[in-house]
Amino acid sequence: MLACFVVAEMTFVAASVVAVLPFLVASPHGGPGRRLPGAALVAALALPPVAAGLVAALGGALLGRGQLLERLRGQLSVRWRLSDVGIGLALGIFGLAITVPASALWARWVGDGQANSAVGEVFHGQRLTLGWGLMLFFGVWLIAPLCEELLYRGVLWRAMEYWRWNRWIIAGLTTVLFALAHPLFAWSHIELLRSPLLVVITLPIALGRLLTGNLLTSIVAHQTNNLLPAIGLLLITQGAAPGY
């Protein structure tokens, strides 16, 4: 499963290049200050996690035993249980509640000029059509959390379970690695500054996986936590709110 995680992360990097390559080839002399069009930015945001998530799911399907759904349930520890969905929703709301004061403290620490995210910086001043704006909204709210959870609380978590590590250690390590992966793959100093904040934001998500043993719980918690940023990006790219 660790090899599956590594391959999925490599797929993420490759998909990031593929997503913007057509634009770079079409306008090779745009200059260092050029900006990608909105459609290319949305594709660069959505395609890499989807590709990595598909690789993670495929790895789980190939490595397990039994029918396809049984293999996915066994390797990724995902199953439908309404009570676990409720726990994930509650933890996601709790995560939002602690994110607001944590973000305020973080902004005071790094300064207003650095209190941003890589996604917010990229889409600052961008105006998208409603269709692309909705794709961005659903990508940030639903798709990215699903794919990221498949990677970190699914495949990577399962790999550590194979090593018989303590589950609290697994929860802590996946939280820290998830936070550090953002600046690594975004190539952004802002995301590096956000790493401590991301640890705080991610703790309730990891707690959901820890308490229920169900990946679905952390997926729901992550999606709930991403709802407000997704709404903010939709409003900004439609000109209904000031950029940040």
Residues listed for the chain: 244
Q: Where are the domains of the chain?
A: 2-237
115, 106 Cβ separation under 8 angstroms? yes
pLDDT band at 26 (very low <50, low <70, confident <90, very high): low
What are the backbone angles phi and psi of residue 138, rounded to the nearest 5°?
Answer: -70, -30
Q: Give the residue-averaged pLDDT of 15-43.
A: 73
Distances (CA, A) of 59 to 8, 38, 65, 172, 216: 9, 32, 12, 23, 18
Rounded to the nearest integer, the mean pLDDT of the chain is 85
pLDDT of 167 higher than 90: yes
Q: Give the residue-averaged pLDDT of 67-95.
A: 90
Q: Tens digits of per-residue pLDDT, 171-224? A: 999 999 998 887 666 656 556 777 888 899 999 999 999 999 999 999 999 999
Residue 34 pLDDT:
58
Residue 186 pLDDT:
61
Side-chain half-sphere exposure of 148, counting CA atoms within 13 A? 27
pLDDT band at 67 (very low <50, low <70, confident <90, very high): confident
pLDDT band at 244 (very low <50, low <70, confident <90, very high): very low
Residue 38 pLDDT:
76
Residue 140 pLDDT:
94
Q: Give the residue-averaged pLDDT of 116-134.
A: 79
How does DSSP assign 2-67, residue by residue? HHHHHHHHHHHHHHHHHHHHHHHHH-TTS-TT----HHHHHHHHHHHHHHHHHHHHHHHHHHS-SS
How does DSSP assign 181-198, residue by residue? HHHHHHT-HHHHHHHHHH
pLDDT of 150 higher than 50: yes
Q: Is 113 exposed, middle or buried (0-12, 13-18, 19+ CB in 10 A)?
A: exposed
Residues 6+ apart with CB under 8 A from 21: none
pLDDT band at 240 (very low <50, low <70, confident <90, very high): confident
Instruction: List % helix, strand, coil for the chain (3-state, nearest 5).
Output: 80, 0, 20
185, 144 Cβ separation under 8 angstroms? no
- With 0.85 as the threshold, say if the pTM is over it: yes
Q: Give the residue-averaged pLDDT of 62-72.
A: 78
